[in-house]
Chain A
Amino acid sequence: MDLNFTAEELAFRDEMRKFFRTEIPESIRTKVLEGQHLTKDEIILQQRILNKHGLAVPGWPVEWGGKDWTPVQRYFYADEIQLAGVPGGLAFNTSMVGPVIAQFGSEAQKKKFLPATANLDIWWCQGFSEPGAGSDLAGLRTKAELIDGQWVINGQKTWTTLGQHADWIFVLCRTDPNVKKQEGISYILCDMKTPGITVRPIQTIDGGHEVNEVFFDDVKVPAENIVGEVNKGWDYAKFLLGNERTGIAQVGASKARLKRIRELAAIEPMGEARVLDNPKFREKLSMVEIELKALEMTQLRIIADEKGKAKGRPNPASSILKMKGSEIQQWITDLTMDVAGPYIMPFAMSDEGSGRNEVGYGPEFAAAAAPAYFNKRKVSIYGGSNEIQRNIIAKAILGF
């Protein structure tokens, strides 16, 4: 047992650290570290810089721009990108649809979509959840019928994150209503400009506009836009959700946020002293750090377990990363509110949907504290709610 990294691994870490902190504009990184939303242009700008240097899609097959990295290198990439406050590749593109097309798509689809997806020339959004299909995703009802050589899609998707920016959507549709629900689903790619698609914004409790409803009304899609085989979409979606889960741990991002909280608490006045001088606050902060340290070790154990193994099914232990990682992200937003104190209260949301609380009172960071706390309630709900993760562990690990 050796918790030290090799000289080569550390050199790789330093290379990543230097790259992220010198090549990505500081204005973007500061916004991320402060928990503010980025504009569409900022997200595109940083992804194109990453892609130019071959660092936007390391998880993809090498022939499509991926890296043949070791698990430790993948860990350092994720840790350093998060520590630097770089948002990284848009998850819908790089972690979700890209790997699915690379694995299951036709050669024509790969050529048409993968380079543009890596460079964020195409902005993807996810058409999975429906009003009646949340945790029970396989119960989805949006249907696609093959009529005159075209898929005709009717139905409604919801919680479509950043759908307002999207060029394309990957949609799970029911293509066979007469079989077991998991066996009648297909994975279809659809241009957002197709007639019959309507995007309606949903304002979330933090005041921001991050998610949308997407309505499909006789939307006609070329037959070749199906990925893989008809009625195999559920398998592809599961492959994708495994990818999503490991990303959700956010260990590096949480480390960066805790560091920032410590800095802010050392400045923010509290009586004659500072917030950080309060032992109760420090203990609460330390408890989160301890859980995060344990989670970091859990993540390293899962990574070490992957060494020398072919990429395959996600380790069910990665459900721990999702559960604990999301709890920690939520505790951190609670700590930020502790530092902000009464200045969490003012609310002045701008109309243009920046999702930014633009108030002029108290310390600057405080305006984002309560919105971040409200917003992060989502992390234990999405990506397979934490209760679904418990079901996975119960079945796959405990054998219930």
Chain B
Amino acid sequence: MDFDLTDDQRLLKDSVDRLIADRYSFDQRKKYMAEKDGWSRDNWAQFAELGLLGVSFDEAYGGFGGGPVESMLVAEAFGRGLVLEPFFATVVLGGGLIKRAGTDAQKMAMLSEIAAGTRLVAFAHVERASRYNLADVQVTATKSGDGWVLNGEKSVVMHGDCADTILVTARTAGSRRDRNGIGLFVVDAKAEGLTRKGYPTQDGLRAAEISFANVRAADVLGDPAGALPIVERVIDEAIAVLCSEAVGLMHEMHVTTVDYMKQRKQFGRAISEFQVLQHRSVDMFVALEQARSINMFGTVMAGDDDAKSRSRAVSATKVQIGKSGKLIGEEAVQLHGGIAMTMEYKVGHYFKRMTMIEALYGSTADHLAKVADSGSLFA
């Protein structure tokens, strides 16, 4: 049992930390947000050069060969920098699905391009009524010749506006919430019949509403009627990465708040001298350390092959992250006071990203219900 990093992991951490320090001041971030895509293509090329876009892919596909810990290190640093680029959509979700469901040829074609920074991917699965149920799929895929034709609508597709390739869950058999009969299709974003409407999200990232009218899929990943278990596994892995990003956000909110308290003067002294405020910032610290701790458990367990213990651990992690994140975010704003209410100041933006993460892939309440239904965390 140890929490040490290997030499390679330490090098990775150093390089991604340096990247954030060099390229992700709050002012630089504002400039990236104003670019055409809402993020920086130049940064993306830099990420590719550092190997971050293939961090969790095998070396055979141009990847870094890392596992959950490597993804954790990158995501935590990205959280601290409040990174805008489509790392989560393209590498974690898109790359994760291709890695778990694709054939060798598909992986060779797509993962190597993701790692090189030349292919952006998004994952379209949310529907108007599905909320967090990945099995609730009404978009259809019907067999046509030797391919598949998709019809229906997908919502809140993270970075769906800029993606070159959209991965889509669609029903090939069964009724609306059946676990069987779901396929995972590869669709070219420029395909005929596909329309998308891009928009910014609350946290400064981007998403899209996408509709499919007789869209011919370019390919299918895995069994066209049996994709759900793989989708669930990749979402578990993705939640662990999101939780790591959240730890980075919480860390930055806490550090920023403590620094601000030492500088801000009222009643003739630094507000950090007031015990009531000290104690509240300590409660933030305890919440942060609890989140950091369980995130290590969640990160390691996200790689577990047993679906039940993996899901239970990941859900438990998301609950603690959600609980800690809400406390830290709300207190960061409160302890700063009015300044944190402004768009000009950085803390509010961290709070907003934290709030969006709570709503991604299941709220705290949803995951708590899942843990409650799956027995004890202590085997």
- Establish whether residues B368 and A283, one from each chain, have CB atoms under 8 Å apart when the complex forms: yes
Give which listed residue, A297, A317, A394, contacts B294 with CB less than 8 A. Answer: A297
- Establish whether residues B372 and A285, one from each chain, have CB atoms under 8 Å apart when the complex forms: yes
Least Cβ–Cβ distance between B325 and chain A, in angstroms: 13
Listed stretches B24-32, B93-101, B210-218, B282-290; interface member = B282-290
- Establish whether residues B373 and A282, one from each chain, have CB atoms under 8 Å apart when the complex forms: yes
Q: Give bound CA distance, A18 to B262, whole Å.
A: 52
Least Cβ–Cβ distance between B323 and chain A, in angstroms: 8
Least Cβ–Cβ distance between B74 and chain A, in angstroms: 14
Write out the residue numbers on chain A whose beta carbons fall within 8 Å of the beta carbon of B3.
1, 300-301, 304
Write out the residue numbers on chain A whose beta carbons fall within 8 Å of the beta carbon of B285.
393, 397-398
- Establish whether residues A293 and B296, one from each chain, have CB atoms under 8 Å apart when the complex forms: no
Smallest CB-CB separation from A284: which chain B residue? B372
Q: Give bound CA distance, A282 to B368, whole Å.
A: 9
Bitwise, A212-236 to B at CB < 8 A (1) or not (0) is: 0000000000000000000000000
- Establish whether residues B372 and A286, one from each chain, have CB atoms under 8 Å apart when the complex forms: yes
- Tell yes or no: A249 within 8 A of B by CB: no
Within 8 A of B (CB), among A44-86: 72
- Establish whether residues A297 and B2, one from each chain, have CB atoms under 8 Å apart when the complex forms: no
- Establish whether residues B294 and A4, one from each chain, have CB atoms under 8 Å apart when the complex forms: no
Q: Give bound CA distance, A399 to B272, whole Å.
A: 9
Within 8 A of B (CB), among A283-339: 283, 285-287, 289-295, 297-298, 300-301, 304, 307, 317, 320, 323-324
- Tell yes or no: B281 within 8 A of A by CB: yes
- Known contacts: A3-B1, A3-B300. The answer to whether A294 contacts B372 by CB under 8 A is no
Q: Give bound CA distance, A221 to B377, whole Å.
A: 53
- Tell yes or no: B23 within 8 A of A by CB: no
Bitwise, B139-152 to A at CB < 8 A (1) or not (0) is: 00000000000000
Within 8 A of B (CB), among A378-392: 387, 390-391
Chain A binding site: helix, strand, loop or mixed by DSSP?
Answer: helix
- The 3 A-B pairs with the shortest beta carbon distances in the complex, nearest first, are A297-B293, A282-B372, A294-B294
- Known contacts: A286-B368, A295-B293, A390-B279. The answer to whether A259 contacts B2 by CB under 8 A is no
Smallest CB-CB separation from A3: which chain B residue? B300
Least Cβ–Cβ distance between B45 and chain A, in angstroms: 30
A-B contact count (CB 8 A): 127
Write out the residue numbers on chain B whose beta carbons fall within 8 Å of the beta carbon of A393.
282, 285-286
Write out the residue numbers on chain B whose beta carbons fall within 8 Å of the beta carbon of A245.
none
- Tell yes or no: B355 within 8 A of A by CB: no
- Establish whether residues B1 and A291, one from each chain, have CB atoms under 8 Å apart when the complex forms: no
Q: Give bound CA distance, A270 to B297, whole Å.
A: 35
Smallest CB-CB separation from B364: which chain A residue? A287
- Tell yes or no: A279 within 8 A of B by CB: yes
Interface range, A side = 35 or more
Within 8 A of B (CB), among A238-295: 255, 258-259, 262, 279, 282-283, 285-287, 289-295
Give which listed residue, A285, A295, A307, A390, contacts B290 with CB less than 8 A. Answer: A295
- Establish whether residues B286 and A294, one from each chain, have CB atoms under 8 Å apart when the complex forms: no
Within 8 A of A (CB), among B8-29: 9
Smallest CB-CB separation from A392: which chain B residue? B282
Least Cβ–Cβ distance between A399 and chain B, in angstroms: 8
- Establish whether residues A297 and B296, one from each chain, have CB atoms under 8 Å apart when the complex forms: yes
- Known contacts: A1-B5, A4-B1. The answer to whether A294 contacts B369 by CB under 8 A is no
- Establish whether residues A279 and B376, one from each chain, have CB atoms under 8 Å apart when the complex forms: no
Write out the residue numbers on chain A whose beta carbons fall within 8 Å of the beta carbon of B112.
none
- Establish whether residues B320 and A294, one from each chain, have CB atoms under 8 Å apart when the complex forms: yes
Give which listed residue, B275, B316, B378, contacts A255 with CB less than 8 A. Answer: B378
Write out the residue numbers on chain B whose beta carbons fall within 8 Å of the beta carbon of A283.
368-369, 372
- Tell yes or no: A136 within 8 A of B by CB: no
Smallest CB-CB separation from B373: which chain A residue? A282
- Known contacts: A324-B290, A398-B258. The answer to whether A390 contacts B282 by CB under 8 A is yes
Q: Give bound CA distance, A283 to B373, whole Å.
A: 8
Smallest CB-CB separation from A75: which chain B residue? B1
Smallest CB-CB separation from A304: which chain B residue? B3
A sample of 7 more A-B contacts (CB under 8 A), given A289-B376, A400-B258, is A3-B297, A289-B371, A290-B320, A294-B290, A294-B294, A394-B275, A400-B262
Among A287, A317, A399, which residue has the most Cβ atoms of chain B within 10 A? A287
- Tell yes or no: B273 within 8 A of A by CB: yes
Write out the residue numbers on chain A whose beta carbons fall within 8 Å of the beta carbon of B272.
400
Bitwise, B272-311 to A at CB < 8 A (1) or not (0) is: 1101001101110110011101101101100000000000
- Establish whether residues B320 and A400, one from each chain, have CB atoms under 8 Å apart when the complex forms: no
Write out the residue numbers on chain A whose beta carbons fall within 8 Å of the beta carbon of B327.
none
Write out the residue numbers on chain B whose beta carbons fall within 8 Å of the beta carbon of A387.
279
- Tell yes or no: B4 within 8 A of A by CB: yes
Q: Give bound CA distance, A4 to B2, whole Å.
A: 8
Q: Give bound CA distance, A259 to B375, whole Å.
A: 11
Least Cβ–Cβ distance between B198 and chain A, in angstroms: 37
- Tell yes or no: A2 within 8 A of B by CB: yes
Q: Can you list 8 A-B contacts (CB < 8 A)? A: A283-B369, A287-B319, A290-B377, A293-B320, A297-B294, A304-B2, A400-B262, A400-B278
Q: Give bound CA distance, A288 to B369, whole Å.
A: 13
Write out the residue numbers on chain A whose beta carbons fall within 8 Å of the beta carbon of B2.
1-2, 304, 307
Q: Give bound CA distance, A216 to B346, whole Å.
A: 60
- Tell yes or no: B340 within 8 A of A by CB: no
Least Cβ–Cβ distance between A393 and chain B, in angstroms: 5
Smallest CB-CB separation from A389: which chain B residue? B282
Least Cβ–Cβ distance between B285 and chain A, in angstroms: 6
Q: Give bound CA distance, A286 to B4, whole Å.
A: 29
Q: Give bound CA distance, A9 to B296, whole Å.
A: 20
- Establish whether residues B262 and A290, one from each chain, have CB atoms under 8 Å apart when the complex forms: no
Within 8 A of B (CB), among A351-400: 387, 390-391, 393-394, 397-400
Write out the residue numbers on chain A whose beta carbons fall within 8 Å of the beta carbon of B316.
286, 289-290, 293
Write out the residue numbers on chain B whose beta carbons fall within 8 Å of the beta carbon of A255.
378
Q: Give bound CA distance, A9 to B286, whole Å.
A: 29
